[in-house]
Amino acid sequence: MVDEVYVNEPLSSRIIMEILEENPHIKRIKCPSSLYLRISKKYLDVLSKLGVEVEPVVKSGRPKKYGELEVKLIQKMLNDGSNPSEISEKLNLPIKTVYYLKETPLRRGRKPKYTPETEEKVKRLYDEGLRVKKISEKLGIPLRTVYSIIKK
């Protein structure tokens, strides 16, 4: 005998009859909360008169694979200066998981080669009228990079 049934399709009179025929001693029908909101009040009243309670399931789905411990450990390692690939290797986690579980925003990719001060200097020299080739020679930055910095 089953006391409880989980349904993941909208309750109709046909489905209710099937459930009651298969499980005559049923006490509870559980369904996702999104479906519960769409069940007719008439059906709910009739079922309650029959002694069957319809309950929404608050949380369903796949359980989380990683918990707070992993999140805190990843955050601590990031604060200590480890990069995501190192953390991935040490904790034996996929790198995408490390990025997913981190709490602080991280940018993927290479770190900028030139400091913001150098970039500002390039822009200032360009605004003062110095030619790009001269800026490149003066600061020892490739011509293409100078163009890239100016474009930003």
Q: Sheet with 4-6: list strands edge to edge.
A: 4-6, 28-32, 53-57
Domain ranges, residue 24: 4-57
**Residues 9, 49 share a domain:** yes
Note the pLDDT tens digit of each residue in 2-26.
788 999 888 888 999 999 999 888 9
149 within 8 A of 125, measured Cβ to Cβ: no
24 within 8 A of 48, measured Cβ to Cβ: no
Distance CA 150, CA 17 (A): 73
Question: How many CB atoms are closer than 10 A to CB 31?
Answer: 22
Output the CA–CA distances (angstroms, integers) from residue 9 to 2, 36, 38, in the order listed: 19, 10, 10
Q: The pTM is what?
A: 0.41
Note the pLDDT tens digit of each residue in 60-112.
677 778 888 888 889 899 889 888 899 999 999 998 888 888 865 656 667 77
- Give 34's pLDDT tier (boundaries 50, 70, 90): confident
Distance CA 14, CA 23 (A): 14
**Residues 53, 9 share a domain:** yes
**Residues 53, 8 share a domain:** yes
Rounded to an integer, the average pLDDT of 40-60 is: 88
